[in-house]
């Protein structure tokens, strides 16, 4: 039986074998990658999403503060996105950190993170695109997006 893989592990494996060629994004894009809690701290997947993004001509990664094992939670893990709390939401703090990198896109690989970051960026009036790694790859391969984060 084959082990279960996260899609970033699968695609990074294809990339390493030379079975996945990346196209170029329009112009140059600076992105920052947010490490999702469960993918990173619980599964140790940090490098594969970065390898994929780094392989796309025209994409430059600007590392966000508090990354990899020290990444801040978006606030959605473990159902916390449904809990009201006082003070600044974790996703707001994270979006502000992402904006400080100068990146035009905040990229992650967790739907909860995307939902929280989109809401926080919109609420704060921060012009920052929020995308999944797969969307960036699809764009580089010339595959049209059918909606979702942009």
pLDDT at 124: 94
**Contact residues for 76 (Cβ-Cβ < 8 A; gap 6+):** 91, 110, 112, 113, 115, 116
d(CA 33, CA 97): 11
pLDDT at 81: 55
What domains sit in the chain, N to C, each tagged with a CATH number?
A: 7-12+23-140 (3.40.50.10700)
% of the chain at pLDDT higher than 70? 89
pTM: 0.87
pLDDT at 98: 97
d(CA 54, CA 62): 11
pLDDT at 20: 87
- Please identify every stretch of the chain with a pLDDT value under 70, giving residue numbers as ranges: 77-87, 145-150
């Amino acid at each position: 039986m084959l082990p279960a893989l996260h899609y970033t592990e699968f695609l990074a494996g294809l990339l390493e074998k030379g079975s996945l060629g990346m196209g170029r994004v329009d112009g140059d894009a600076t992105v920052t990658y947010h490490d999702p809690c469960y993918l990173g701290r619980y599964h140790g997947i940090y490098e594969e999403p970065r390898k994929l993004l780094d392989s796309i001509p025209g994409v430059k990664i600007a590392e966000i503060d508090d990354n990899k094992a020290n990444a801040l939670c978006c606030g959605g893990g473990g159902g916390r996105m449904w809990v009201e709390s006082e003070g600044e939401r974790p996703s707001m703090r994270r979006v502000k950190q992402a904006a400080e990198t100068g990146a035009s896109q905040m990229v992650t690989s967790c739907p909860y993170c995307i939902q929280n970051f989109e809401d926080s960026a919109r609420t704060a009036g921060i012009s920052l695109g929020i995308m999944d790694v797969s969307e960036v790859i699809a764009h580089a391969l010339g595959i049209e997006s059918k909606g979702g984060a942009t």
